[in-house]
Amino acid sequence: MARLKLHLLGTPRIELDDTAVSTDRRKAVALLAYLAVSGTPHSREALAALLWPEADESSGLAYLRRTLWELNQMLGEGRLEADRSQITLAAEADLWLDLRQALARFADPADLAALADGAALVRGGFMAGFTLRDAPAFDDWQRFQANQVQHALDGALDALAAGHAARGAWETAVDHARRRVALDPLHEPAQRQLMGLYAQMGQKSAALQQFEACAQALQTELGIPPEPETRALYEQ
């Protein structure tokens, strides 16, 4: 059986033996992603309600059967286990999921190599750019997963910046701190971390410029000044 790779950190991408699988069946992609991330069986009724909430139960189940057929055509037989009541990914599906790989590497905040590998797997937000029409429950699930990924990545980047700074690897620390700030310019602890790294490197002008960028972002987006801790660092 060909190796199935599912990339969900960024624009969704499906691969079989490292060859991209092209599809315009968005409900099929959504169903595959939901089954892969959850890793548990789901009732046919629950899946139909998730993806076709406006359809009556009979129609929703018919749409689900068609989508399962499309997935089997796309991936080959044997990837899914489906009986009259439940559907799940088969244990022998040989699935590689970037989300699972990244989160496993984020488990130990002291393992900088693993953290860096995990951060490199995060090409963008969870299923970035992917939407379904008229499926608000799926949208909620997708948003929840995106928030979980963002939180894990934030923690990994914070640990990478601090860990490399402790080793005197300033440029590497700055690279991770910059990425952290780019993901959330309004998060002042991350801004202060980057300012502090610039200061440690003797790049006072870069630290001052970072403060100005922070202050501008806060004023533009929230209409507030920087926190006292941020200003105190600026005035040092």
Q: What is the pLDDT of residues 30-87, one digit of tens each?
A: 999 999 999 999 999 999 999 999 999 999 999 999 999 999 999 988 899 999 999 9
pLDDT at 91: 81
1 band by pLDDT with thresholds 50, 70 and 90? low
Average pLDDT, the chain: 95
Q: Which two tokens stand for residue 205?
A: 């002008």
Distance from C-alpha of 212 to C-alpha of 195, rounded to nearest angstrom: 11
86-89 and 13-16 beta bridge pairing? unpaired
Burial class (CB in 10 A: 0-12, 13-18, 19+), 84: exposed
Task: Decide: pTM greater than 0.75.
Answer: yes
Burial class (CB in 10 A: 0-12, 13-18, 19+), 224: exposed
Q: What is the mean pLDDT of residues 132-160?
A: 97
Distance from C-alpha of 8 to C-alpha of 130, rounded to nearest angstrom: 10
Q: What is the mean pLDDT of residues 10-20?
A: 95
User: Could you give all domains of the chain from N- to C-terminal order, each with its CATH number?
Assistant: 4-96 (1.10.10.10), 99-235 (1.25.40.10)
Q: By 3-state DSSP, what share of the chain in percent is helix, strand and coil, each rounded to 5?
A: 60, 10, 30
17 band by pLDDT with thresholds 50, 70 and 90? very high
pLDDT at 191: 97
Whether the CB-CB separation of 116 and 124 falls below 8 Å is answered with no
